[in-house]
Amino acid sequence: MVERSKVMKNFWRGGELFVWMSASGVAFSLLMVAGMLALIMINGLGQFWPGALQETTLKTQETVIGQVVGEEVIPNSVTPDSPAGQRRFRYRVGNRDVFGAEYRWINAADIVSNARPEDLTVVERREWGPAFGRISVGVEGAAAGSASGSSWTTVKNLVERANQLRRRIEHLEREEIGSINYRIEKARLARHALTLSGQLSPGDTEKAGILLDQIAVLERDYLAKTEALERLHKEAGQEVLFLTLSTGRSVRLSLDQVLAVSRPNGMNWFEKLWAYAHNLWLFVSSEPREANTEGGIFPAIFGTVLMVFLMTLAVMPFGVMAAVYLREYATQGSLVRLVRIAVNNLAGVPSIVFGVFGLAFFVYALGGTIDQWLFPEALPNPTFGTGGILWASLTLALLTVPVVIVATEEGLSAVPRDFREGSLGLGATKFETLRHVILPCALPGILTGLILAMARAAGEVAPLMLTGVVKLAPALPLDEYLPFLHLDRKFMHLGFHIYDVGFQSPNVEAAKPMVYMTTLILILVVVSLNWAAVRLRNRLRRRFTASAL
């Protein structure tokens, strides 16, 4: 007994307990980081794997076809008789248009048998998400003569052809008709601009007439193109697949609705890997469908990158200039010290405040004025007087400029005094010293600041919501029409995409895997930028501590 109490006493006195307690803080933080990353990776990366389709027969003689995506103990099923409780499985049964819901719970107790026949097919559709079933009858319509029943190769070839047709339709719609629309709108605005001044000179009248003729020609062109489009649509709609669902019901699938067909149960490991890579590529490179809950996120990635790029262009010269002024040119006194603290603290001001400022200053005040001066013909439709990628980038530039200033100042102050004095002593002017000696030495610091600013900008969402981000942008801010870069356009953003799809879409459950993947991409971008900045900063510190010795 005495021995034991002595052990306890030592334990208490030694304070080991408290050391361990503090260690638990570190352990907990690391667990949270690791857990969160694992969660996002598993949920995000898992979705592209072609999951097996399971055909389950229930006690009620009902058959269910679907991917098993989860299982759990039925809540409140734990009773004294069954301490483990009842289990149930979550099936993704697809066919949202027929079944009403994409997911379904099935109690383990109800299952009679499970099977994974190879002929179960996943049909990716343009609308209503995937459909699961058997392609039973084969083909009907234009290609009926060539098809010999329901052979899998025939089906695949048909889908491939339908996809080619769809690409042609898309090209026609977007490129050709889009371009005509764009030119009509331009001509219309140009004509309106002529009439705005009130009095038309003879030359102006002539110009207006020419524009009117142009519009007429374009409109004829437009009609011809829409007719061609109509024909293509008809052609695409002719071919039909029949899919037998788990309920035995046969569903007609027009081929222009079908994006891809696959039979995951028949795939080998290599084929699955290939399908995985293909799906992943489609996700990053294609456009969203179905209110952003399906398809890809290319416009969001593009918007994020372009916005960050524009922001960098704005923030770099001004941030560096301000830092150089504060550190090299301003008289160091209490005022500069105060300004430094204030700038430093601006980095801690909530981002939404910058968003509010951006909305009032850039969008309403600046944009409204620009519209009145430069784009009066489009009024009352705003051109710059509404949110757009330029205003969003400038708002974020304001938000991140303190980061650049602080990092640049740190870089400048780390340049040893001897360097400056040496350069000045050799007769260089102050600016020459700055340009050829100090700035090259401080470059890593400046870059660190820039990278940190980019990372911060890529992850911010709140200010963007007020200054120009949208859930679905009709066109990218960069295209082949003059002036190529459309600074007034609204844009899509990865972070806002997460918010929008996760919280405002009609079918959150089905969209969740996509959101996880989007999240993963955003985190990858932001965290890798931050790592780069940290590495750069550490190298900078080492370099100058070494040189100071």
According to CB under 8 A, which residues from 102 to 121 bind other proteins? none
**Within 470-499, which residues bind other proteins (CB under 8 A)?**
495-496, 498-499
Looking at the DSSP bridge assignments, the partners of residue 92 are 67, 103
Gap between the Cα atoms of 12 and 484, Å rounded: 72
Q: Considering the rule CB under 8 A, would residue 389 count as an interface residue with other proteins?
A: no
**Closer CB to other proteins, 38 or 216, in the complex:** 38
Those residues whose C-beta lies under 8 Å from the C-beta of residue 57, and which sit 6 or more positions away, are 63, 111, 112, 113, 114
With CB under 8 A as the contact rule, the residue among 324, 378, 438, 473 that binds other proteins is 324
Minimum CB–partner distance for residue 105 and other proteins (Å): 14
On whether the CB atoms of residues 336 and 323 are closer than 8 A, the answer is no
Gap between the Cα atoms of 172 and 231, Å rounded: 12
Gap between the Cα atoms of 322 and 403, Å rounded: 12
Q: Interacting stretch for other proteins, rule CB under 8 A, among 165-173, 252-260, 276-284, 358-366?
A: 358-366
**Closer CB to other proteins, 111 or 336, in the complex:** 336
The β-bridge relationship of strands 240-244 and 103-107 is unpaired
**Closer CB to other proteins, 21 or 277, in the complex:** 21
Contacts 24+ apart (CB under 8 A), 311-315: 311/393, 311/394, 311/396, 311/397, 311/400, 311/453, 311/454, 311/457, 312/450, 312/453, 312/454, 314/393, 314/394, 314/397, 315/397, 315/400, 315/401, 315/404, 315/450, 315/453
**Closer CB to other proteins, 11 or 281, in the complex:** 11
Q: How many other C-beta atoms can be found within 10 angstroms of the C-beta atom of residue 478?
A: 14
Count of residues touching other proteins (by CB under 8 A): 103
**Closer CB to other proteins, 253 or 396, in the complex:** 396
Minimum CB–partner distance for residue 66 and other proteins (Å): 21
Asked, as a colleague might, if the bond just before 483 is cis with ω within 30 of 0, I would say yes
Q: How many other C-beta atoms can be found within 10 angstroms of the C-beta atom of residue 538?
A: 12
Question: b or e along 185-204 (b: 16 or more beta carbons within 10 Å of the residue's beta carbon)?
Answer: ebbbbbbebbeeeeeeeeee
Gap between the Cα atoms of 401 and 395, Å rounded: 10
With CB under 8 A as the contact rule, the residue among 2, 25, 113, 549 that binds other proteins is 25
**Closer CB to other proteins, 298 or 318, in the complex:** 318
Q: Interacting stretch for other proteins, rule CB under 8 A, among 212-220, 227-235, 239-247, 349-357?
A: 349-357
With CB under 8 A as the contact rule, the residue among 355, 367, 382, 444 that binds other proteins is 355
Minimum CB–partner distance for residue 430 and other proteins (Å): 6
Q: Interacting stretch for other proteins, rule CB under 8 A, among 25-33, 93-101, 199-207, 277-285?
A: 25-33
DSSP SS3 for 30: helix
Q: Considering the rule CB under 8 A, would residue 302 count as an interface residue with other proteins?
A: no
Cα end-to-end distance, the chain, whole Å:
60
With CB under 8 A as the contact rule, the residue among 46, 51, 85, 178 that binds other proteins is 85
Gap between the Cα atoms of 347 and 329, Å rounded: 23
Q: Interacting stretch for other proteins, rule CB under 8 A, among 160-168, 185-193, 221-229, 424-432?
A: 424-432
**Within 499-538, which residues bind other proteins (CB under 8 A)?**
499, 502-503, 508, 512, 515, 519, 522-523, 526-527, 529-531, 534
**Within 33-72, which residues bind other proteins (CB under 8 A)?**
33, 36, 39-40
Minimum CB–partner distance for residue 273 and other proteins (Å): 28
On whether the CB atoms of residues 104 and 267 are closer than 8 A, the answer is no
Minimum CB–partner distance for residue 294 and other proteins (Å): 17
With CB under 8 A as the contact rule, the residue among 465, 473, 510, 540 that binds other proteins is 465
